[in-house]
Amino acid sequence: MTDPQTWHCWQCGADISDLPRPYGRFARCPACRAELHVCRMCRHYDTTKAKHCREPLADEVRDKTRANTCEWFQAAPRASGPRARPDRDPRRELDALFGADPNETEPPTTDRQALDRLFGAGAGDPSGDPHS
């Protein structure tokens, strides 16, 4: 019987449905090489629970993104991470959030220029120094 769900890497969002399960201790995503036997891929992973795990008998795993030897690990497709979005530009999103001009390609060359662009040059002073 085939699994009707699509499985995705917790780190890069690549489709890993063709990889055999259960994931072994050394299984890796073919796209980004992220380890897959990790808490972030487990059906018990839940950030609202103590130790981020719904299984009360499981030993605590500190790094949820590194392969571990947890005996309670059960891979889950819904535990997968962000899906790759080629149309997404994080830099442009940050610029829009913080009010930067998204069409500006030249970064300021000095901290002073960056401040002048952010706050505008000092009123009545061509040098931009409001204290002179």
Q: How far apart are CA 53 and CA 71, in angstroms?
A: 13
- The pLDDT of residue 5 is 78
pLDDT along the chain (132 residues), means of 10: 73 91 92 94 92 93 94 80 55 73 64 77 53 52
Domain that holds residue 102: 90-119
Please check whether residue 125 lies inside any domain of the structure.
Answer: no
Q: Are residues 48 and 101 in the same domain?
A: no
The single residue listed with the structure tokens 């997968």 is 80
Q: Are residues 45 and 99 in the same domain?
A: no
From residue 95, alpha-carbon distances to 43, 101, 128, 129 in Å are 36, 7, 24, 26
